[in-house]
Amino acid sequence: MRAKITYLVTAAVLVFYFVLVGSRGVLLIQNGTLLTVTFGVAVLILPLIGIWFLWKNTQFVQRANRLAAELDAEGGLPVDELVRTPSGRIDRDSADRVFARRKEEAEDSPDDWRCWFRLAVAYQDARDTPRARKAMQRAIALHAGRPVSI
């Protein structure tokens, strides 16, 4: 729940920022000189890119959450078997062992979105966020029946 609140607050702040920047771009365009119109258009492009990025990330999170809910209903969510330090952080060696097992499962069943979902969780536990995101994108694509690029 805390993550959802943080995400919503961050998204709201970004939307406010996009509106603020966009209004400045409109003011620059209304000024009417070649230089200010050029800057105004450039300033308007930035919020558009930001809104697109925010939208794509929101879609990714929603799809990943749907997969998690489906996997939970099936009883297939990965069990937290990781060793933690006294401060609560995941022990790196423990995460690496679980990751090796999850990677082998995904290699044995490359078309099973469930294996890729669990691999994404293992990547995240091993603090490899870019690969976790790629594995989750693959799980989402497999679940949707879309072709998957290797």
CA distances 41 to 20, 24, 60, Å, are 14, 10, 29
Could you tell me the two tokens for 7? 């995400």
Per-residue pLDDT of the chain (150 residues; tens, 9 = 90+): 788 899 899 999 999 999 999 999 999 999 989 999 999 999 999 899 999 999 999 999 999 999 999 999 998 888 888 888 888 888 888 888 888 899 999 999 999 999 999 999 999 888 889 999 999 999 999 999 887 765
pLDDT attached to residue 121: 92
Predicted confidence at residue 150, as pLDDT, reads 57
According to the model, what pLDDT value does residue 99 have? 87
The model's pTM is 0.79
Rounded to 10 degrees, the C-alpha dihedral 54/59/61/65 comes to 160
Contact 39, 28 (CB under 8 A): yes
